[in-house]
Structure 1
Amino acid sequence: MNKPRTAASIRRSYIGARSRAEGAGFEYIINSACAYYCSIGLADVEKTPEPMKPIGSPDRAGRFIACYTKQAQPDYKGVLRGGKAVNFEAKHTDSDRMTADRVTPEQAARLTRTEKLGGIAFVLCSFSGRYFYRVPWAVWRDMKRLFGRKYITPADLAEYRIRVAAPGVLLFLEGFV
């Protein structure tokens, strides 16, 4: 027997679904930008597949239960024309702040290694799907020291704002290639 849903649980469910849809939209425009950069020969960047293993057989709809086999890596990685590596994590929020802990320790370690080896590492941020920022990994990593707190707001990131070109291509590699 199902328990009746409360207004609060319905609201949480709605907010979660909306946030997932916004995150998927953010991923779509990043993927569009990656395709654009590849088509003009400036970069080859792709989404990092999630490391998971199916548990059991798929159901009739082709769905299956899976578990992660290791901690996630940064969301995107690739190479720029000239050979420089690029790794970045993409984060979306519908609120007015983004916390430092949104990047896992494993992702942070990979971004730090990329930076130490001379590659480009950053966090690509979306606030409400309307404002986009390319935050250098060194800035994200040192957020507490630089801003006095473990979160950032769009006002903190004004110098890292990136353009969106028509039709909806996020120009997150401008200045690198």
Structure 2
Amino acid sequence: MKKNDEQLKTQARNMMSNAQGHLFEELIKTGCVIYSSQERAEINKVPEPFRVTKKLANGQFTGRFTAAAQPDFSGTLKGGTAIHFEAKYTNTDQIKRSVLTDEQMESLEHHRKLGAVTGVCVGIKDNFYFIPWNIWRDMKAIYGRQYLKTEDIEQYRVKFNGAVMFLDYVSERMDGHGQ
């Protein structure tokens, strides 16, 4: 019985984390809509590469992922610069570098080398950050560890007005999304 209780707790935690991750992405998508209406950027959520393998009753189906995922969000900033970024949320006090897969990191690095603005949009509890890819990539060298705490990344905190405004840092000392 005890093992079953632990499994239920783990399942509940996983469901809550999944729901929070989806809410975080919706808050970013709202920011995308605002930036589009301001003609500052056109950025969209990239759909997961997925194929339906079997249709079931009541509109349900089974399926599988067909390729390594691309960055969560992709688009163009006013002036023509591409932007690609991942979105990661945690309810803990820190975010681990390992939340990105090797494929996601390779993709962000590739886009960076081509001149795109790249980064990781992070939600840590009630605060939101846009961490430039080179900072995320090199966090071990910069911070001496493979995770970030909120005090490490305060300079990358972005505005929140009911939407995650990932192009707008709270601190004006940052000059755009320098790479």
* TM-score over 0.5 for the pair: yes
- Whole-Å separation in 1 of the counterparts to 2:100 and 2:108: 10
Matched, 1:6 2:11: no
Q: Choose the corresponding residue for 2:101, options 75, 97, 104.
A: 104
How many angstroms does 1:15 deviate by?
0.9
How many angstroms does 1:79 deviate by?
0.2
Query: Which residue number in structure 2 is paired with residue 36 of structure 1?
Result: 34
Matched, 1:160 2:175: no
Query: Which residue number in structure 2 is paired with residue 21 of structure 1?
Result: 19
Query: Which residue number in structure 1 is paired with residue 143 of structure 2?
Result: 147
How many angstroms does 1:61 deviate by?
2.0
1:141 counterpart letter in structure 2 = R
1:53-92 alignment, distance < 5 Å: 53-56=51-54, 58-92=55-89
- Whole-Å separation in 2 of the counterparts to 1:6 and 1:70: 34
- Whole-Å separation in 2 of the counterparts to 1:50 and 1:169: 22
- Whole-Å separation in 2 of the counterparts to 1:102 and 1:73: 14
User: Which consecutive unaligned segments of at least 5 residues does structure 2 have?
Assistant: 169-175
Q: Choose the corresponding residue for 2:130, options 134, 142, 166.
A: 134
User: Which consecutive unaligned segments of at least 5 residues does structure 1 have?
Assistant: none
- Whole-Å separation in 2 of the counterparts to 1:131 and 1:76: 19
- Whole-Å separation in 2 of the counterparts to 1:61 and 1:42: 41
CA RMSD in angstroms, aligned pairs only: 1.5
- Whole-Å separation in 2 of the counterparts to 1:9 and 1:158: 36
How many angstroms does 1:4 deviate by?
9.1
The more displaced of 98-107 and 29-38 is 98-107
How many angstroms does 1:5 deviate by?
7.0
Structure 1 runs of 4+ off > 3 angstroms?
Answer: none
How many angstroms does 1:6 deviate by?
2.2
Identity over aligned residues, as a percent?
A: 35
1:74-118 Cα shifts (integer Å, max 9, x gaps): 100000111000000000111112111111111111211221122
SS in 1 for 2:122: strand
Query: Which residue number in structure 2 is paired with residue 121 of structure 1?
Result: 118
How many angstroms does 1:162 deviate by?
0.7
More strand by share: 2
